[in-house]
C-alpha cells in the first residue's frame, strides 16, 4: 500500500477586510520508499516535509518584509502541525494517508 502524507495549507489573505476566500495549496509527500523505523528514513521524511511546506507556503519578494514574515510563519506553523502527524504515522507505521491543515 502506498504511504502518503497530505500537507494542506489554508493560507488566509493578509487583507481580511476584502473578505476573500482562503487559498488552498496542497502537496503530497510519498513515503513508500522510506523505512520510517530508521533514523535515516525519518531524516529523509523530515526533508520531504520541509520541502512540501516550502511549496505550499510559497515565496515572497525580498523587498516585501511583511510577505517574507507571512511565508516564514506559514512554514513554521505547517511544520509544527505536521510534527504530531509525522510522529503518529511513524509510530503506527501504517500506509494510511494523513491530511494536515494549517492556517
Residue with cell 481580511: 16
Q: Which long-range contacts (CB under 8 A, 24 or more apart) does 74-81 make?
A: 74/9, 74/11, 74/102, 77/102, 77/103, 78/7, 78/9, 78/53, 78/102, 79/49, 79/50, 79/53
Burial class (CB in 10 A: 0-12, 13-18, 19+), 31: buried
Mean pLDDT (the chain, rounded): 77
3-class DSSP state of 79: helix
pLDDT of res. 44: 92
pTM score, whole prediction:
0.68
Low-confidence residues of the chain: pLDDT under 50: 1, 8-17
How many domains is the chain partitioned into structurally?
1
Residue 55's domain comprises 4-102
pLDDT of res. 95: 52
Amino acid at each position: 500500500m502506498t504511504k502518503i502524507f497530505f500537507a494542506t495549507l489554508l493560507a488566509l489573505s493578509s487583507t481580511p477586510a476584502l473578505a476573500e476566500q482562503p487559498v488552498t495549496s496542497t502537496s503530497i509527500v510519498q513515503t513508500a520508499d522510506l523505512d520510517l523505523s530508521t533514523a535515516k528514513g525519518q531524516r529523509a521524511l523530515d526533508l520531504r516535509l520541509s520541502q512540501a511546506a516550502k511549496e505550499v507556503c510559497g515565496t515572497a519578494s525580498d523587498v516585501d518584509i511583511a510577505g517574507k514574515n507571512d511565508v516564514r510563519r506559514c512554514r513554521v506553523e505547517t511544520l509544527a502541525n505536521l510534527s504530531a502527524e509525522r510522529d503518529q504515522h511513524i509510530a503506527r507505521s501504517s500506509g494510511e494517508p494523513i491530511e494536515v491543515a494549517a492556517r
